[in-house]
Amino acid sequence: MTLPTPRSRALGMHLILVLVTGLLASRLLVANQAPSAPAPAPAAAQAVAAAPEKPAETSATPWGGDYFPNTLLTDQNGRQVHFFDDLIKGKVVVINFIFTSCSDSCPLETARLRQVQKLLGDRVGKDIFFYSISIDPLSDTPQVLKAYAQRFQVGPGWQFLTGEFADVTELRQKLGLFIEGVDNGRSKDHNLSLIVGNQETGRWMKASPFENPWILADQLANTLQNWKQPSIEQSYANAPEIRPPSNGEELFRTRCASCHSLGPLDGEGIGLRSIGPDLIGVTRQRDPAWLNRWIREPDRMLAEKDPIALELFDRFNKIPMPNLRMDEHSAQSIIEFLQEETDRQHPPATPMTAENEEPEHHHAIAVPAGSQGPTVQ
């Protein structure tokens, strides 16, 4: 076998180098070739691509017309309105759901809101609006709602509304006032909360119908109007000690005070509680057993045609005292508080004089002819 000479080895290496160089050059040529032109786009697509992007619409609050249904409702005067466009858009509102045949919570809610309306004065209907929507549209026609509003002597700016049952149910769901398993159409048990809010700012909150009327009025008049303003820092170092209320006082303040006062100074003399009689002195002039039962089951006593109950019903605009489902112990606690408050304002050694009883019905103690004295309603 002949061994390769240095000349032949050099020639072979040269050939290999030429082949490698050619291969690299061909790959670079393929990589640098211009891509083929794409097919022309349709005219519509070109127009869309050429058009400037439209900025997405932003809303100050997510609780706008895309959340709330624009439900068609009818108010107590027969006027048709839309829930979002006409009632809540850009407004501070309070909304609750009632039915006029309700014998317990609904009258209490209406009485409480009437107090709030009095505190707010003529702002209701201008920059604050009240809406009570019926959950019983078959019974609560506009005429029925108007009579109900008149019995409670509500002022302007408060609308009582009715509509289709399914539409009202949807509103309750959107407002968070529908309870699955309770609000099922087979009964009229329902969420008792109020909804207060400012649609423009998106600030919404639930409130109890048993809330102090001054607190509700402050939320509507100030908190919801200026909620972004910083609060004023206050020191509570020298705050007075708070007297804890008795069980009877707590029950009275949260249940009875929507309709009743305790003396002429209660309610700061502005006549907030004009639905039922003033209760100072009632424990001195009414049989305790009768009083206890009247607090617990006024609806049954009216059905039995108790003469005092009927007289009170007729005197106070035919607004029945609601059954608040209290037991005997709770009723007795209220009676004991009424006795304590009567003794505080009029010590037993000092007889109650006629000047302590005001002639207007919101402070007068209802005493039917031939009866033993005043009663509670």
Does residue 332 lie within any of the structural domains?
A: yes
Note the pLDDT of residue 224. Answer: 82
Domain co-membership, 158 together with 96: yes
Domain co-membership, 201 together with 266: no
Residue with tokens 């309603």: 377
Q: How do residues 257-309 score in pLDDT, each as one tens digit?
A: 888 888 877 765 445 556 888 899 999 989 999 999 999 999 999 999 999 99
Asked if the model's pLDDT at residue 36 lies above 50, the reply is no
DSSP code at position 75 = E
Paired tokens of 242: 């708070």
Asked if the model's pLDDT at residue 22 lies above 70, the reply is no
In this structure, what CATH number is given to the domain that contains residue 251? 1.10.760.10
Domain co-membership, 88 together with 161: yes
Query: Does residue 155 contact residue 124 with C-beta atoms inside 8 Å?
Result: yes
- Residue with the larger pLDDT of the pair 109 and 191: 109
Does residue 325 lie within any of the structural domains?
A: yes
Where residue 17 falls among pLDDT bands split at 50, 70, 90? low
Strand partners of residue 198: 92, 203
Does residue 137 lie within any of the structural domains?
A: yes
Domain co-membership, 317 together with 201: no
Question: What mean pLDDT do residues 113-125 have?
Answer: 91
Asked if the model's pLDDT at residue 377 lies above 70, the reply is no
In this structure, what CATH number is given to the domain that contains residue 101? 3.40.30.10
Domain co-membership, 259 together with 142: no
Domain co-membership, 300 together with 161: no
Where residue 55 falls among pLDDT bands split at 50, 70, 90? very low
Note the pLDDT of residue 237. Answer: 66
Note the pLDDT of residue 361. Answer: 37
Does residue 55 lie within any of the structural domains?
A: no
Q: How do residues 212-256 score in pLDDT, each as one tens digit?
A: 888 888 888 888 875 455 555 666 566 567 677 899 998 888 888
Q: How far apart are CA 258 and CA 209, in angstroms?
A: 10
Query: Does residue 91 contact residue 199 with C-beta atoms inside 8 Å?
Result: yes
Sheet of strand 194-198: strand arrangement: 80-82, 72-75, 158-162, 128-134, 92-98, 194-198, 203-207
Q: How far apart are CA 131 and CA 159, in angstroms?
A: 5
Q: How do residues 56-91 score in pLDDT, each as one tens digit?
A: 344 556 666 678 899 999 999 999 999 999 999 999
Does residue 24 lie within any of the structural domains?
A: no
Does residue 239 lie within any of the structural domains?
A: no
Paired tokens of 193: 């909360």
Q: How do residues 138-189 score in pLDDT, each as one tens digit?
A: 999 999 999 999 999 899 999 999 999 999 999 998 888 877 655 555 445 5
Asked if the model's pLDDT at residue 113 lies above 50, the reply is yes
Domain co-membership, 86 together with 211: yes
Note the pLDDT of residue 4. Answer: 52
- pTM for the model: 0.62
Q: How far apart are CA 293 and CA 326, in angstroms?
A: 10
Does residue 30 lie within any of the structural domains?
A: no
Domain co-membership, 276 together with 218: no
Query: Does residue 41 contact residue 49 with C-beta atoms inside 8 Å?
Result: yes
- Residue with the larger pLDDT of the pair 102 and 355: 102
Question: What mean pLDDT do residues 188-194 have?
Answer: 68
Domain co-membership, 178 together with 303: no
Domain co-membership, 181 together with 277: no
* CA dist list (Å): 228 to 26, 90, 203, 219: 71, 16, 10, 13
Instruction: Name the residue range of residue 349's domain.
Output: 247-356
Q: At what angle do helices 328-345 and 288-296 cross, to 10 degrees?
A: 120
Does residue 35 lie within any of the structural domains?
A: no
Domain co-membership, 345 together with 205: no
Total of domains in the chain = 2
Domain co-membership, 100 together with 217: yes
